[in-house]
């Protein structure tokens, strides 16, 4: 999403890509071409985005993202962390329990 942020299209592209995630995200084999088409429909200038992708600072940012994902052991999206603890299984109830546990710890 840094490419969309550079164009002032972050929110629109994020919402479109997340909404369409079941169509482009195939468990470790994402269809990036389809993702770009979805982003384009949401207002992203694809030619400019591809040019931005080649910039050294963008490559460094993407490399840092991959390094962070690896260090945090993020293997899927969304992944939630509360005070450094990851959500063991996805769901609103599980998130509420994790938040409550961390709030209780903070009150001690």
20 pLDDT band (50/70/90 cuts)?
A: very high
Rounded to two decimals, the pTM is: 0.64
Total number of residues shown for the chain: 108
Domains in the chain: boundaries: 2-74, 78-108
Q: Which two tokens stand for residue 21?
A: 């995630």
1 pLDDT band (50/70/90 cuts)?
A: low
Please provide residue 85's backbone torsions phi and psi, each rounded to the nearest 5 degrees. -95, 130
91: left (phi over 0), alpha (psi -120 to 50) or beta: left
Query: How do residues 21-57 score in pLDDT, each as one tens digit?
Result: 989 987 778 898 999 999 999 999 999 998 998 999 9
94 pLDDT band (50/70/90 cuts)?
A: very high
Which pLDDT score, from 0 to 100, does residue 70 have?
Answer: 92
Does residue 5 have a pLDDT over 90?
Answer: no
Rounded Cα gap, residues 87 and 35, in angstroms:
26
Average pLDDT of the segment spanning 68-75: 88
* 64 CB-contact burial (10 Å; exposed 0-12 / middle 13-18 / buried 19+): exposed
Beta strands in 24-99 (DSSP E): 81-82, 85-86
């Amino acid at each position: 999403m840094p490419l969309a942020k550079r164009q002032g299209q972050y929110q629109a592209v994020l919402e479109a890509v997340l909404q369409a995630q079941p169509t482009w995200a195939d468990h470790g084999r994402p269809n990036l071409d389809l993702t770009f088409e979805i982003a384009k429909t949401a207002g992203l200038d694809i030619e400019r985005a591809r040019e931005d992708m080649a910039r050294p600072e963008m490559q460094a940012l993407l490399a840092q993202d991959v390094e962070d994902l690896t260090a945090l052991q993020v293997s899927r999206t969304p992944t939630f962390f509360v005070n450094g603890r990851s959500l063991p299984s996805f769901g609103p109830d599980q998130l509420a329990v994790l938040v409550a546990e961390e709030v209780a710890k903070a009150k001690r």
